[in-house]
Amino acid sequence: MTNLLHSKCQALEGGSPMSESDIKRHLNEVPGWHLDKGFIEKTFSFKDFHETMAFLNAMAWICHTEDHHPDLQVSYSRCVVRFNTHSVGGVSINDFICAAKVNALVAFVG
């Protein structure tokens, strides 16, 4: 298994997406995430809008430093985070690196 928290996202232009078996193996490393229509996805719930926005801002910084950005669906007390890697046309190791770091963020503040 990889140490996703200590990994850095890399440019993957021209690469291939992960196989379904690799995706399933890596999903075991990021609790709460699942595969949905070519993305890995997780829903995060919060007490109120302020907590939701604080999470978004902290996650935005993490994703900015990794240069790998999610698709988001945001509401008052909830945020759906979806990662895939457009340059490979599917899920890549970069998605799991960011998912692990987002999980660590929530564990740290939760």
Contact call for residues 30 and 96 (beta carbons, < 8 A): yes
pLDDT band at 1 (very low <50, low <70, confident <90, very high): very low
- Residue 42 has φ and ψ, to the nearest 5°, of -150, 145
Tell me the pLDDT tens digit for each residue of 54-87: 999 999 999 999 999 999 999 999 999 999 999 9
Q: Is the pLDDT of residue 110 over 60?
A: no
What is the predicted pLDDT for the residue at 107? 79
What is the topology classification, in CATH, of domain 43-110?
Gyrase A; domain 2 (3.30.1360)
Contact call for residues 39 and 86 (beta carbons, < 8 A): no
Tell me the pLDDT tens digit for each residue of 6-54: 999 999 998 999 999 999 999 999 999 999 999 999 999 999 999 999 9
Structural domain spans, the chain: 43-110
Pairing of strands 71-75, 78-83: antiparallel
What is the predicted pLDDT for the residue at 14? 87
Residues shown for the chain: 110
